[in-house]
């Protein structure tokens, strides 16, 4: 991943981009008679973000904050206040959360929770879904060159990194898969288009240097594909299964 796409650089860019919002808020502080009330708003916002167990969206914050609060300006000021500290306020998938500063990760390695290790098959499947979404199971198998076991997709969905997006408008109407907001939050991405491109992957040694010149890394879709129907249209969407019986297809995942 290039330096300009690292979590640290995105925090610095966001901090620089919201400077004007902070200036505007400070001007309102001077002219507003209830300055103490505004300070209370800041404290309440800070407490809500600190207590949240997952990234929280602006609409939810508006419901919890007093009427008339400028949530955007308050978030801008809070983000600036925490920019150089051990904990930063960052935005992931259009939601906000506190997290430890990225440059301190190496000092916390002994006390943070060990991440769950994925198999090679699961990692490959996750990468294909992330870059090719919306993608069907047969399309995943075609790209990998081997069949995908139901267990591999089960693990990714259990982690809430992958979800069923909809159904392809083709015979059999196969289910389409895509990533989730939890996927973005785990990998510190604001949106799927922040995933590293060809040059970044090549520089990191994740792509063969001898790739053809016309090789391109696909751009993930942010919205429903033109040939895709949302799964919410189906009454039994939550219970839909897209896995073949084990005896119908050999399991080549390993």
**Domains along the sequence of the chain with CATH:** 3-107 (1.10.10.10), 120-239 (1.10.10.10)
User: Is the pLDDT assigned to residue 86 strictly greater than 60?
Assistant: yes
**CA 112 to the chain's CA centroid:** 20
Measured CA to CA, the distance from residue 180 to residue 168 in angstroms comes to: 19
User: Is the pLDDT assigned to residue 227 strictly greater than 50?
Assistant: yes
pLDDT, greater one: 46 or 232: 46
pTM for the predicted model, two decimal places: 0.54
The per-residue pLDDT of the chain, averaged, comes to 77
| Nearest in space to 182 (alpha carbons), one of 97, 55, 60, 7 | 55
Residues 251 and 147: beta-carbon distance below 8 Å? yes
How would you class 79 by CB atoms within 10 Å of its CB: exposed for 0-12, middle for 13-18, buried for 19 or more? buried
User: Is the pLDDT assigned to residue 194 strictly greater than 80?
Assistant: yes
User: Is the pLDDT assigned to residue 247 strictly greater than 80?
Assistant: no
Residue 134: is the preceding peptide bond cis (ω within 30°)? yes
Quick: pLDDT tens for 18-68: 665 666 566 555 444 455 777 888 899 999 999 888 888 989 999 999 888
- The strands making up 87-92's β-sheet, listed across from edge to edge, are 56-57, 95-100, 87-92
Alpha helical stretches, state H, 103-251: 120-132, 137-144, 150-158, 181-186, 198-203
């Amino acid at each position: 991943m290039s330096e300009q796409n690292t979590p640290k650089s995105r925090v610095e860019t966001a901090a620089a981009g919201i400077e004007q919002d902070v200036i505007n808020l400070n001007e309102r502080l001077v002219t507003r008679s209830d300055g103490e009330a505004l300070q209370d708003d800041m404290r309440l916002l800070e407490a809500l973000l600190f207590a949240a167990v997952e990234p929280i969206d602006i609409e939810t914050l508006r419901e919890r904050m007093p009427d008339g609060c400028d949530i955007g300006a308050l978030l801008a000021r809070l983000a600036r206040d925490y920019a150089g500290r051990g904990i930063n306020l960052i935005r992931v998938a259009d939601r906000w959360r506190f997290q430890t500063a990225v440059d301190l990760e190496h000092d916390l390695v002994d006390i943070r929770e060990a991440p769950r290790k994925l198999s090679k098959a699961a990692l490959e499947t996750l990468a294909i879904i992330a870059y090719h979404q919306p993608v069907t199971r047969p399309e995943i198998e075609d790209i990998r060159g081997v069949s995908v076991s139901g267990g591999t997709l089960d693990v990714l969905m259990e982690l809430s990194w992958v979800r069923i997006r909809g159904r392809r408008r083709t015979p059999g109407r196969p289910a389409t898969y895509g990533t989730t907001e939890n996927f973005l939050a785990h990998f510190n991405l604001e949106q799927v288009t922040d995933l590293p491109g060809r040059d970044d992957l090549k520089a990191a040694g994740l792509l063969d240097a001898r790739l053809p010149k016309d090789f391109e890394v696909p751009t993930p879709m942010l919205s429903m594909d033109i040939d895709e129907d949302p799964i919410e249209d189906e009454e039994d969407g939550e219970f839909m299964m897209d896995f073949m019986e084990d005896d119908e297809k050999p399991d080549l995942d390993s």
